[in-house]
Amino acid sequence: MVRDSHTSWIPPNHPRKESLLIRERLVDGFEEGYVAAQGLIAHGRGECFDYLIGESSISSALTAERVAVAALLTAKHPVISVNGNTAALVPKQIVELARLVNAKLEVNLFYRTREREELIVRVLKESGAEEVLGVGDDASCVIPELFSERRRVSCRGIYTADVVLVPLEDGDRTEALRRMGKTVIAIDLNPLSRTSRAASITIVDNVVRAIPNMVRFADEMRTMSRDELISIVKGFNNEENLRAALMFIRDRLTELINKGITLEFHKV
Ligand code: PTJ
């Protein structure tokens, strides 16, 4: 689905090639009509936080990703919520993760339109999904005390789920889902967002790394006993894990300040 015209201008040796290619995937999704314009803004905010963690999966994120996989594998009714940005950035990987942890996929949009819902279903189906919930009349259950368009969910999906993975979520719905007694797993590069602070398990990582990591962990952890998986989940403390992410950022900035932050250019 990525058009060459958008990526061909990127020099192969550009130091920020990967980041530029990721942006183009969102621009393509926007032009194809399924990424919200606000999704482009959200991505820019994410990029900023990604700089602070060194654009890599830090150890607290890897821990949270393993715990999240354990929670999904032990859930009775796990659901993965998909929005425009996730569909543009990791369509195949999110379908693969759902298959490995036996979760349902549900489209759920903050900026909801029927057209975007249907386009995202198409993207997911082209990536191998068999069933995608949450479109049109299927989203007939309502999350109480929530007023955004995200309140309408599938009765067979998010409404009855015990564990919900919500990449790039808004804080209101995270809080509402927690009030319903659900385990909420958030992926959010901003450790200070309301979503990050309200979720049960917060993964402070870029969705482009977090989901492939989780696919790898799900493959490795599938053979673990239920007791082992439950003890991984029980041993996790989200507050402590978020503190570890903030301390990583603090220490990294301190190191950069002490060691020097300017790039070294070739002398002529
Ligand atoms: O497709 P829709 O209609 O459901 O809309 C999706 C967006 C993302 C536009 C919507 O959910 C939204 O407005 O989200 P927010 O409130 O802007 O929050 C997005 C959060 O995701 C911010 O805290 C960003 O730092 C974070 N973020 C952005 N890009 C990434 C990310 N986190 C992880 N990986 C990213 N690639």
Residue 261 pLDDT class (50, 70, 90 cuts): confident
Q: How far apart are CA 195 and CA 236, in angstroms?
A: 18
Q: Decide whether any atom of ligand 1 lies within 6 Å of the 172 Cβ.
A: no
Q: How far is CA 113 from CA 68, 150, 157, 255, 261, in A?
A: 30, 11, 19, 46, 44
Q: For ligand 1, what atom is nearest to the CA of residue 47?
A: 29
Q: For ligand 1, what atom is nearest to the CA of residue 150?
A: 4
pLDDT at 2: 43
Per-residue model confidence as pLDDT tens digits over 182-240: 999 999 999 999 999 999 999 999 999 999 999 999 999 999 999 999 999 999 999 99
Domains of the chain and any CATH numbers: 59-247 (3.40.50.12640)
Q: Decide whether any atom of ligand 1 lies within 6 Å of the 49 Cβ.
A: yes
The Å distance, Cα 256 to ligand 1 centre, comes to: 28
Residue 17 pLDDT class (50, 70, 90 cuts): confident
How far is residue 51 CA from its own chain's centroid? 17
Q: Decide whether any atom of ligand 1 lies within 6 Å of the 84 Cβ.
A: yes
Q: Decide whether any atom of ligand 1 lies within 6 Å of the 188 Cβ.
A: yes
The protein residue with its alpha carbon nearest to ligand 1, atom 27, reads 46
Q: For ligand 1, what atom is nearest to the CA of residue 206?
A: 34
The protein residue with its alpha carbon nearest to ligand 1, atom 31, reads 46
What proportion of the chain, given as a percentage, has pLDDT over 90?
Answer: 83
The protein residue with its alpha carbon nearest to ligand 1, atom 30, reads 46
The sign of the CA dihedral 47, 91, 222, 166 is positive
Q: Decide whether any atom of ligand 1 lies within 6 Å of the 38 Cβ.
A: yes
Q: How far apart are CA 237 and CA 177, in angstroms?
A: 19
pLDDT at 56: 97
Per-residue model confidence as pLDDT tens digits over 134-165: 999 999 999 988 888 889 999 999 999 999 99
Ligand 1 mutation pick, 18, 23, 85, max ligand atoms within 8 A of CB? 85
